[in-house]
Chains A and B, each alone.
Chain A
Amino acid sequence: MKIVVPVKRVIDYNVKIRVAADGSGVDTANVKMSMNPFDEIAVEEAVRLKEAGIATEVIAVSCGVAGCVDTLRTALALGADRAIRVHTDVELQPLAVAKLLKAVAGREQPQLVICGKQAIDDDANQTGQMLAALLGWGQATFASKVVIADGRATVTREIDGGLETVGVALPAVITTDLRLNEPRFASLPNIMKAKKKPLDTVTPDELGVDVAPRLKTLKVAEPPKRQAGVKVASVAELVAKLRDEAKVLR
């Protein structure tokens, strides 16, 4: 069984982002970029399935600018077998990425695609579900446990108010939530080995996909800043403030 894992290059989750002064977006110049954390969990899950003898090959895919090569090398160092980069400088939105991944899935014929549930830059939470719809496959989103057996995935999902378990026939798309696993760190020997693993590049044209953005970003602004309040000296003062000033106690 082949598994495809899409990985996105995003601003590192530890970086405090800056909104560009002209309101056109977020500054990405000279900012540390990393693999989207949810995608790292997806790579880890796929590699564990391979280590368990369930998967035979793990293929990492990244769509975007030249820098995505670094993200793919990270996926290869974590245990993916080979990588495909879809090269474009166009701003990619989730629908376009889902179409590119559909085309890649058409070539590779995986039984499973494991995506991160959302990217921490645009926070859209769409690509996995869109891909499943375009392929006509079942889906299991926000996974915290995945069991593969008899051509089905049994997936425990994190939902509002608790957990839901669903069974989905393969091929299918699974999206990862935080508690699915703890990704390993890439060892130095594996980082060196990753440099020799195959990495192919294709273009949206070669895949026959129109990636033109559908949403136009008119403006990006900083959210209103919340003012720090006061420090109170005692519980009694706090209760008095909540009762008389904030009027939030009933």
Chain B
Amino acid sequence: MSILVIAEHDNAGLRPATLNTLAAAAKIGGDITVLVAGSGCAGAAAAAAAVPGVAKVLSADAAHLAHPTAEDLAAVTLAVAAGHSHLLAPAGSFGKNFMPRVAATLDVAQVSDIVEVVSADTFVRPIYAGNALATVQSADPVKVITVRATAFDPLPATGGAAPVEAVTPPPASGLSAHVSQELSHSARPELGAARVVVSGGRGLGSAEAYHGVLEPLADRLGAALGASRAAVDSGYAPNDYQVGQTGKIVAPDLYVAVGLSGAIQHLAGMKDSKVIVAINKDPDAPIFQVADYGLVGDLFELVPQLVQALD
């Protein structure tokens, strides 16, 4: 078996989810090749080469891959896919965007968002917002897979020394083009990879309270900020803070849910956290059914007290 992992990276280095995806690849077993497609991506290629277990890195470095479109990422993946039995990418907005194009072009099914490798052709994936787990078997000659990063412990970032080989990507498709992007700049850790997440819901009542109450706690814990869909819909927090079925899936060591009732679609995004703390004034809120530690009361008093107690 020969596995191709398409790296999610920022040209300078790998995004953390790539290391989790490589761990899933290692579970399948076989030679692992990493494709780094970008522009000025030598740093990311070197980082991929340093991951133990990686046999080879293919670097497709071209100007039109600076902000690659789904069409161009699919094309470069297909250009190097021959001979590989499995194609894997992380199941974030990066992998979800182009991997189905790869699968459809190869006329094979895609297995989305796997959380467990049962064997080389059988995988477990969540359905219905994680309220059921389906074990599926693929009979297709090539398995195209996206990997839920939080379900696999990452491979170490150093210790390997794989060769890096340059490959020439196909020219830009011209079907679509990157225009601009607005990334939320934050000194906080990335939500999907943070060790601690502090998340707020509608109980906060306003954007000012969301930031004013939660930020000191997040600062103290070195945490990423998250939010429920209700808080995002109410404009308290930007959409990319959203944790849940339709947002990010997180599984930190510690998840602190503040003023957040615990709707099914939110629980789908955080119930695999190691320790869950809930602070809510409603003792019957569903979040308490999954929380390891629940604190009933007024969040506007309790959260500042908690910040103080942690100092």
Residues of chain A at the chain B interface (Cβ within 8 Å)? 11, 13, 16-17, 19, 26, 93-95, 98, 120-134, 137-142, 144, 154, 157-169, 172, 177-179, 214-223, 226, 228-232, 234-236, 238-239, 241-242, 246, 248-250
Contacts and interface: CB of A to CB of B under 8 A. Distances in A.
Q: What 3 A-B pairs have minimum CB-CB distances, sorted nearest first?
A: A138-B175, A229-B292, A129-B100
B80 interface: no
Contacts of B283: 231
A137 B70 CA distance: 11
A162 B92 contact: no
B16 to A, nearest CB: 11
A66 B94 CA distance: 36
Given A217-B135, A217-B136, A223-B133, A130 B100 contact: yes
25 contacts: A26-B127, A26-B128, A120-B129, A123-B129, A125-B100, A125-B112, A130-B101, A141-B93, A142-B93, A160-B94, A165-B179, A166-B69, A166-B178, A168-B175, A169-B175, A178-B239, A215-B138, A223-B131, A228-B290, A229-B294, A231-B295, A234-B295, A238-B277, A246-B275, A250-B222
Contacts of B246: 177-178
B179 A154 contact: yes
Interface in B290-310: 290-296, 302, 305-306, 309-310
A130 B103 contact: yes
A84 to B, nearest CB: 21
B111 A231 contact: no
A177 B293 CA distance: 34
Counting chain A CB atoms within 10 Å of each CB, the highest count among B129, B221, B254, B292 belongs to B292
A168 B176 contact: yes
Given A121-B128, A131-B104, 17 more contacts: A11-B128, A16-B131, A26-B127, A129-B96, A133-B101, A133-B102, A134-B104, A139-B70, A162-B238, A163-B183, A165-B178, A168-B177, A169-B174, A177-B239, A228-B289, A235-B305, A246-B254
Contacts of B291: 228-229
Contacts of A168: 175-177
Counting chain A CB atoms within 10 Å of each CB, the highest count among B127, B190, B290 belongs to B127
A129 B175 contact: no
Given A168-B176, A242-B293, A216 B104 contact: no
A161 B240 CA distance: 6
A180 B240 CA distance: 14
B266 interface: no
Contact of A218 (B136, B140, B174): B136
Given A129-B104, A167-B177, A221 B133 contact: yes
Query: What size tier do the contact residues of chain B reach?
Result: 35 or more
Contacts of B126: 123, 223
B255 to A, nearest CB: 10
A178 to B, nearest CB: 6
Contact of A160 (B69, B173, B180, B192): B192
A145 B198 CA distance: 29
Interface in B132-151: 132-140
Contact of A217 (B134, B179, B277, B294): B134
A158 B176 contact: no
Given A137-B175, A169-B175, A231-B296, A164 B274 contact: no
B264 interface: yes
Nearest to A163: B182
B281 interface: no
A139 B128 contact: no
B239 A248 contact: no
Contacts of A214: 108-109, 138-140
Nearest to B304: A235
Given A138-B173, A158-B240, A166-B177, A125 B71 contact: no
B39 interface: no
Interface string B246-287: 101000011000000000110000010011110000010000
Contacts of B240: 158-163
Contact of B306 (A122, A169, A177, A238): A238
Nearest to A125: B96
Given A130-B103, A163-B181, A214-B140, A223 B130 contact: yes
Contacts of B276: 226, 229
B55 interface: no
Contacts of A123: 112-113, 126-129, 245
Contact of A19 (B67, B132, B229, B293): B132
Contacts of A221: 132-133, 135
Nearest to B109: A214
A158 B100 contact: no
A154 B130 CA distance: 33
Given A133-B104, A231-B294, A226 B271 contact: yes
Nearest to B122: A218
